[in-house]
A and B are shown apart, each in its own frame.
Chain A
Amino acid sequence: MTQSYDAIVIGGGHNGLTCAAYLAKAGRKVLVLERRYLVGGAAVTEEKFPGFKFTVCSYVVSLLRPEVIRELELAKHGLQVMPLDSYWVPKEDGDQLAMYADPAALREEVRRHSKRDAEMIPKYNQMMYHIANAVKPILGYVPPNPASPGLRGARTLSEFGKHLQSLDKKTFHQLSKIMTMSADDFLAEWVETDVIRALMGINGIIGTKLGVKSPGTAYVLLHHYMGELDGAFTAWGAQRGGTGGVSDAIASAAKSYGAEIRCNASVERVLVKNGRAVGVVLEGGEEIYAKTIASGADPYVTFRKLLDAKDLPDDLVSAIDKFKFRGSSGKVNLALDTAPKFSAMTDPAFLRGMMEICPSVDYVEQAYDDAKYGAFSKRPYVDVDIPTMIDPTMAPPGKHVMSCFVQYASYNMPEYGDRDQQRDAFGNAVIDTLSEFMPNLKDIILHKQVLTPWDIEQEIGLTEGNIFGGELTLDQLFFFRPAAGWADYRTPIRNYYQCGSGVHPGGGITSGPGRLGAMEILRDGN
């Protein structure tokens, strides 16, 4: 039996769902095909053990575009994000650093470490605020082709230029530095306290196989400054029930507009006839036809797996083969019998925020050194979040789930043996490292889930386990994402579009690629 749709969206990740929601809202008959048993892609919550819900991969929300929240009425569909208001770091000497969102509390805490930094950090934040505000509109632009921008592209570039001109001269210089320097070098110009630099530098390396001292990482700092919660600049938050709740809200919105979502439906390839996409073939041979096909998968899957290379221009094939995925992050999700105790923590209220294992700049850079040649960090950077400190829906009363985002790991780490042995060794290194700071941890672990980049690829489908669907380095952003000339959500195959995090504005729970992809599809009259 064959069915026909106006549009098929491949992949029910949050971007695919977003694209489907916008298309359905515009009156299109839309079908979303998801390989797994549930939607969400990397933004999923799964009850891996009875009563314990894990934010399997992605775990916090900030970059979700406010226009998407509004236009799809996501709050009505279940979006509920609670702000996380402190970043807490245990130092190796037993002291702590607590970076509060509240400016007065932050100043007092930083004064303990450095009086100079207590004055500089607000200045730094102010500078980043201005830069982020000037650069942020770019998140809503369709990247023009700089080689031949056309009228529309020229308009985009000039509008962006105007935003940049709103920066004063000094801030503009800082922007130039951000575009070129390493995160740590850039921060060192502002902040003297080592542990603060370590903590602030972390945002430069998330999801990227680079160290805080690698040039180019300063830009990734900025990327993390473009988020907001209810208009509160750079605030990060946790979704009720985990990030799967965000995907569910988008899915619910999509369904309310009439989109159909089919799980356990793995797309094997896109049907191309005379240079035009006409449908998809599912695993098992079922063919489904549609006027438009949009891929929410990453660029490698979109172009190299779902299509035949002969249907594509050579330069694009070559660009996609060079596109850097090299997943460098892993995840360890733990079910805990009780709340953990950090030996350096003076106030249990910090457990409600983020806890960061990054006691010094050298510690973080050393973690990269370990991983540079294809291993995992012996003592990794870990971003710890215990959603059950505020969310009653993810574990039985009194019990907890702890999400540990880990950097670095490598896609293949053969020195530890086969895949199972690699996973075990990696998981043990993470838990051993955490135990240095949380002596009771091993006693309270009830269950664990360990994901290396390879596991993320197997489970979620992200090539080489890159959480952003391709690294967020400058050479892979905006009009380079995923390849020069093909950054406007279109592809060389007519009626075949991209709408995943491998296109602008990139990774993280932004819904940006999904929305912009849908807009371009509609613009083409599809």
Chain B
Amino acid sequence: MPRQTPFHSRTNALCESQNWVEWSGFFSAQTYEMDHIHEYNAIRLGAGLFDVSPLFKYFIRGRDAVALMNRVITRDASKCGVGQIFYTAWCDDEGKIIDDGTVARLGDDFFRMTAATPTLCWLQDNAFGMEVEIEEVTDAYGALALQGPTSRDLLQQLTDADLSSLKYFRMLETKLAGVPVNISRNGYTGDLGYEIFAEPGQCEKVWDALIETGVAYKLMPAGMVALDMVRIEAGMLLLDADFHSASTAMFEVEKTSPYELGLGWMVNLKKDHFVGQGALRRENARGPATCTVGLEIDVLALEKVFVQNSMPLQLPYQSWVDTLPVYSDSDQRDHIGRATSGTWSPVMKKYVVIGRVKPQYAKIGTQVYVEQTVEARRYAVPATVVKMPFFDPPRKRG
């Protein structure tokens, strides 16, 4: 049976739907209400509060901490200032992505790493010969994501730290409702937002303070269903949805590289050796085999498909994760890639999809066809390659 996060007494009391899933060994709420839509709207209008404690967390300390980080991740850890956070990928020797996560520099020789999959072994194996201490601290901290336009104002009510000066992907140590916390300004929603780390014994106090003060800031606890919609709007990839980890993939074809995932910007080929560097250098020279793209499905064309079946247009009510064929032609002869997750975006009034296609189809404005099934028939519905993130409000960074 899954374990309970340090917030469970509180999340459980609020989880009317009792709709739980397992996330990295913990109970995680899919929705709090029976329906996710208020939670979704709260994230885009007020704020949503997510329990993200199940994220794997590691401390990397010691003289060679920078060296270890630099050996593992694709970005240059020496460029990460103290108090700064990097979103980064890490790869295997073949340059295939193992996972993505954040690396936060807590001190000169002190990093905190979060990951979606267990990463202790990988860190330990790569630390061979280094003077570094690696500790898994997943259970040592509860973590919350507070995301949405009112998140800063709400959080500011509970702390003396000046949040207006906390920049995007920076963090600080402070007290929240009297509890020592680490607050970082980042998230998985593409909105203004923060992540808050606190020790387990104090987590309930942090939760209670946020929920109580949050009423005036239209805060709602939010679950994974709403989170998946907003992360797609934000063009953020999900492991086991948009890509698979090279360390758990059973077959070569399931593996992808950062270049193929649109994460080439985080591959620093100039820095000293890192795992996968050689393969990535070669791939960079010849170009990736596929490209991750944002697609916008032509809703009018989709409506026609429904009308052919004597039905009014039906839009997905929540996001989906799937593997749908993408074609270059409406006859579905020329297969060029796959759609991996998608959602109707109530805030943008667009049907947006993340997918991977052959590079010649990745140019913005290219028309492709995504398979959609209506009444057990398959149709190729036109979609246009558009810029990702789909939803990118100035407040995210501003």
Residues in B whose Cβ lies below 8 Å from that of A392: 45-46, 149-150, 217-218
Contacts of B344 in A (CB 8 A): 230
Contact with A along B284-327 (1 / 0, CB 8 A): 00000000000000011000000000101111010000000000
Q: With A390-B42, A390-B45, A397-B217 as given contacts, are A230 and B34 in contact (CB-CB < 8 Å)?
A: no
Give the chain B neighbours of A70 by CB distance below 8 A: 299-300, 349
The answer, yes or no, to whether B175 is at the interface (CB within 8 Å) is: no
Expressed in whole angstroms, the Cα–Cα distance for A69 and B149 within the complex equals 23
Interface assignment of B130: CB less than 8 Å from any CB of chain A: no
Whether, in the assembled complex, B234 has its beta carbon less than 8 Å from a beta carbon of chain A, the answer is no
A166 surroundings in chain B (CB, below 8 A): 310
Q: Report whether B312 and A231 are in contact in the complex, using a CB–CB cutoff of 8 Å.
A: yes
Whether A390 contacts B216 in the complex (CB less than 8 A), given A75-B349, A105-B34, A231-B314, comes out as: no
Q: Give Cα A83–Cα B33 distance, bound, in whole angstroms.
A: 14
**Contact (A79, B349) CB under 8 Å given A70-B299, A391-B45:** yes
Q: How far is the CB of B48 from chain A (nearest CB, A)?
A: 12
CA distance in complex: A389, B215 (Å):
9
Are A230 and B315 also in contact (CB < 8 A) when A75-B347, A390-B41, A390-B46 are? yes
Q: Mark A374-401, 1 if CB is under 8 A from B, else 0.
A: 0000000000000001111100011000
Q: Does A115 contact B (CB under 8 A)?
A: no
The proximity string for B residues 192-227 relative to A, scoring 1 for CB distances below 8 Å and 0 otherwise, is 000000000000000000000001111000000000
B35 touches A102 (CB 8 A): yes
Give the interface SS of chain A, mostly helix, strand, loop or mixed: loop
**Cβ-defined contact, B216 with A240, below 8 A:** no
Asked whether A157 is an interface residue with its Cβ less than 8 Å from the other chain, the reply is no
What 0/1 readout, one digit per residue, does chain B (346-386) give for beta carbons within 8 Å of chain A? 11111000000000000000000000000000000000000
Complex: how many Å from CA A230 to CA B349? 7
Chain B: CB-nearest residue to A391: B45
Contacts of A232 in B (CB 8 A): 317
B75 CB within 8 Å of chain A: no
Q: Is A491 an interface residue (CB 8 A)?
A: no
Within the complex, the shortest CB–CB distance from B132 to chain A, in Å, comes to 45
Shortest Cβ distance from residue A293 to the other chain B in the assembled complex, whole angstroms: 32
Q: Is B8 an interface residue (CB 8 A)?
A: no
Contact of B218 among A69, A85, A229, A390 (CB under 8 A): A390
Query: What are the residues of chain B within 8 A of A102 when measuring CB–CB?
Result: 34-35
A352 to B347, CA, bound (A): 19
Residues of B within 8 A of A85 (CB): 35, 37-38
Within 8 A of A (CB), among B153-198: 153
- Give a binary string over B83-116; 1 marks a CB under 8 Å from any A CB, 0 the rest: 0000000000000000000000000000000000
- A83 neighbours in B (Cβ, 8 Å): 37, 41
Complex Cα gap A231–B350 (Å): 12
A263 CB, min distance to chain B CBs, angstroms? 26
A441 to B344 alpha-carbon distance, docked (Å): 40
Interface flag for A82 (CB, 8 Å): yes
Determine if B255 is an interface residue (Cβ-Cβ < 8 Å). Answer: no
Contacts known (A82-B41, A392-B45, A392-B149); A133 close to B312, Cβ less than 8 A: yes
Candidates A69, A76, A80, A231; contact of B45 at CB < 8 Å: A80
B216 x A397 contact (CB < 8 A)? yes
Q: Name the residue of chain A whose CB is nearest to the CB of B35.
A: A102
Q: Distance in Å from the Cβ of B216 to the closest Cβ of chain A?
A: 4
Q: Residue B61 at the A interface, CB < 8 A? A: no
Q: Does A74 contact B (CB under 8 A)?
A: yes
Q: Which of A218-233 contact B (CB under 8 A)?
A: 229-232
- A397 to B218: give the CA distance in the assembly, Å: 9
Annotate A54-77 by CB proximity to B: 1 below 8 A, 0 otherwise: 000000000000000110001110
Say how far A159's CB is from chain B's closest CB, in angstroms: 13
- Expressed in whole angstroms, the Cα–Cα distance for A489 and B37 within the complex equals 39
CB-CB under 8 A from B215, the residues of chain A are 398
Whether the Cβ atoms of B44 and A231 lie closer than 8 Å is: no
Residues in chain A near residue B300, CB distance under 8 A: 70
Closest to B150 in A: A392
> Which of B38, B310, B317, B346 meets A352, CB within 8 Å?
B38
Give every chain B residue within 8 A of A104 (Cβ-Cβ).
34
- Chain A residue numbers with a CB within 8 Å of B313 are 231
CA separation between A393 and B317, bound complex, in Å? 26
Smallest Cβ distance from B41 to chain A, in angstroms?
A: 5
- Given A231-B314, A392-B217, A75:B34 Cβ within 8 A: no
Complex-state Cα separation, A75 to B351, whole angstroms: 12
**CB-based contact B216/A69 at 8 Å:** no
What mask results when residues 27 to 54 of chain B are scored 1 for a CB within 8 Å of chain A, else 0? 0000000110110011011100000000
A74 near B349: Cβ-Cβ < 8 Å:
yes
CB nearest to B349 among chain A residues: A75
**A390 and B35 in contact (CB under 8 A), knowing A69-B349, A74-B349?**
no
**Residues of the A chain whose Cβ atoms lie less than 8 Å from the Cβ of B299:** 70
Q: A80 vs B300: C-alpha distance in the bound complex, in angstroms?
A: 20
B342 shortest CB reach to chain A, Å: 14
Q: Chain B residues near A80: list those with CB within 8 A.
A: 44-45, 347
Which of chain A's residues have a CB closer than 8 A to the CB of B346? 81, 229-230
C-beta contact mask, A230-259 vs B, less than 8 Å → 1, else 0? 111000000010000000000000000000
B306 to chain A, nearest CB (A): 10
Inter-chain contact B315/A231, CB cutoff 8 Å: yes
CB distance from A133 to the nearest CB of B (A): 6
Do A390 and B38 have beta carbons less than 8 Å apart? yes
Q: Which residue of A lies closest to B310 (CB)?
A: A166
Instruction: Please indicate the chain B residues that have their CB under 8 angstroms from the CB of A81 in the complex.
Output: 346
Q: How far is the CA of A391 from the CA of B45 in the complex (A)?
A: 7
Inter-chain contacts of A133 with B (CB < 8 A): 312
Q: Mask for B5-29, Cβ within 8 A of A = 1, else 0?
A: 0000000000000000000000000
Q: Nearest-CB distance from A280 to chain B (Å)? A: 35
Q: How far does the alpha carbon of A232 sit from the alpha carbon of B348 in the complex, in Å?
A: 16
A74–B347 Cα distance when bound, in Å, is 10
| B residues in contact with A390, CB < 8 Å | 38, 41-42, 45-46, 218
Bound together, the chains give a CA A85 to CA B37 distance in angstroms of 10
Q: How far is the CA of A396 from the CA of B246 in the complex (A)?
A: 50
Residues in B neighbouring A231, C-beta threshold 8 A? 312-315
For B350, the closest partner residue in chain A by CB is A75
State how many angstroms separate the Cβ of A326 from the closest Cβ of chain B. Answer: 35
Task: Give min CB distance, A103 to chain B, whole Å.
Answer: 11
Q: Which B residues, 128 to 157, have Cβ-Cβ distances below 8 Å to chain A?
A: 149-150, 153
Task: Kindly report which residue of chain A lies nearest to residue B344, judged by CB atoms.
Answer: A230
Least Cβ–Cβ distance between A83 and chain B, in angstroms: 6
Q: Which of B38, B46, B216, B300 has the most CB of A within 10 A?
A: B216
Interface pairs (26), CB distance under 8 Å: A70-B300, A75-B347, A75-B349, A79-B349, A80-B45, A80-B347, A82-B38, A83-B41, A85-B35, A102-B35, A166-B310, A230-B346, A231-B312, A231-B313, A231-B314, A390-B38, A390-B41, A390-B218, A391-B45, A391-B46, A391-B218, A392-B217, A393-B45, A397-B217, A398-B215, A398-B216
9 tightest A-B CB contacts, nearest first: A397-B216, A75-B349, A398-B216, A231-B315, A392-B218, A82-B41, A75-B348, A392-B150, A392-B46
Apart from A166-B310, A397-B217: 11 A-B pairs, beta carbons within 8 A = A74-B349, A80-B347, A82-B38, A82-B41, A82-B45, A85-B35, A231-B312, A231-B313, A390-B38, A391-B45, A392-B45
